[in-house]
Structure formats: structure tokens, C-alpha cells
Structure 1
Amino acid sequence: MTIDTHSQREPHSPLRRIIGSVSAILQTRLELIGIELAEEKDRLLAVLFLGLAAMMLVTMALIALTALVAITFWDTYRWQALAGITIVYAVAGLICALKARSGLRNAPLVFEETLAEFEKDRDIFRRP
């Protein structure tokens, strides 16, 4: 009878300490995931906004340039001028598409720091 009451009163058994440590580690890692997710969301929103603004402004500039070239060469080389501008736009668009594809392929891993911390935790628990 004294053994049962003694084991129930012992608040810091090894199993409880291990469970508490694992719980604290998981909580820390989940907080890190949340922070990284918030940072990534903010970064993506900023890039999206700037990208849309740039696209709008460049589109306006290209429309103005096209009109300027068409007006300038209207009497002499109208279709050649428009064909030249079309080729320039197509090449620029292709270059942008290739750069965008490259940027997506070379993007860093999401939650890279969290994964590194989980790897460290796993290494610590594997040690004898």
C-alpha cells in the first residue's frame, strides 16, 4: 500500500519528464512553423503586389510605345514596325517566362529551418 501511494505522489518520474520534454520540443517546433508560415505569407503578398504593379505599369508603357511606333511609321513601314514590336514583345515574354520557371524550380524549401531543427532533435534522441 505504501508503494502505490509513493508512486502516485512522485511528480517527476522519468516518463513524465520525457513526455514533458517531447511536448515542449513539439510546441517550440510548431511555433517555429507558424512563424515561418507567417513570414512566407508576408513575403509572397509583397512580391505579388509589386509584381502586379510592375505588370500594370509595363503594360501601359508598352501600349504607349506601340502607339508611338505605329504613329511614327504609319505612312511608310507600318506593318514592318508593328511586326518588329510584336517580335520584341514575344522575345521579352519568353525570357520572362523562362526566368519565372527557373525561379520556381530553384525556390528554397518551405519550412527549411523547421526541418533542420527536427533533424537535430532526431539526432539527439538517437544518441546512446
Structure 2
Amino acid sequence: MIHQKTNAIVIETLEKFPHKVHIKLGKILRDRGMTQGDLHRLTGLRVATINELVNFKKKSLTVAHLIAIMVALRITDIRDLIEIEFDAEVISYFNEENKIMNNGFTPDLLKTSEQNVRRLVAGAHAGVHN
């Protein structure tokens, strides 16, 4: 679920920390006896956009789209609509990192931040927009 304009740092982060995204929209519509057309009429979102969400072909989600869908379906918890599940190894790593966090950073996060700043500055000087 990577948009073609996503910068390299984001792509590498997604690849480094395996995860699964579960979009529950299709099941919600089926359970409620609704069609994608019904949701289109309630939200104003294109049927193609809704179809891409249902079939997990949408490359990116906007908060506005998510909120419009939540309002139309009277959902108050985003986890009822979308769930992101990290692999067990990632969860374990995050738990260990959280134990050594200081002022919002771990040694690994400080290192990552420093590396990313250098990359962003280098990209800016090269005329690359992230």
C-alpha cells in the first residue's frame, strides 16, 4: 500500500518493520447489506475509490476519506474499519525499545533520526522533493 510518490525513507521503514493492513470495509458493507454504491451516495467518494479500498488496491488513504466513511457507517473507532498488525518480531522489538526510551527516543531512534536528516538534506541539495 505504497503510493508512487512515497519517499525512500518511508518505503524503507515499511519494509524494515513487517506488517499487515486489514481493511474491513467490504465485510462491514456485506454485514449491513449495503453496496459500494450506497456508500458512494452517503460519502460522495468515487465508487472506484471505495472499490479500491474494499479490494485493498488503494495506494494511500486520506484522513478525510476515512472520516467520511466512519460518519456514513456510524463507526466511532477506526479499528473497526482498519487494523494494522505488526509481525511478532516487530512487536517484541518495539516492546524492548519502549523500555529504554528517553524523552521519546531510543538509541536506535536517535541514530535513525540523524541518518534521515542527512538523507533529507542531501536530497534537498540535489533538488529531490520528498
Return the TM-score normalized by structure 1.
0.29
Return the TM-score normalized by structure 2.
0.28
Q: Going by fraction, where is strand more abundant, 1 or 2?
A: 2
Q: Going by fraction, where is helix more abundant, 1 or 2?
A: 1
Larger radius of gyration: 1
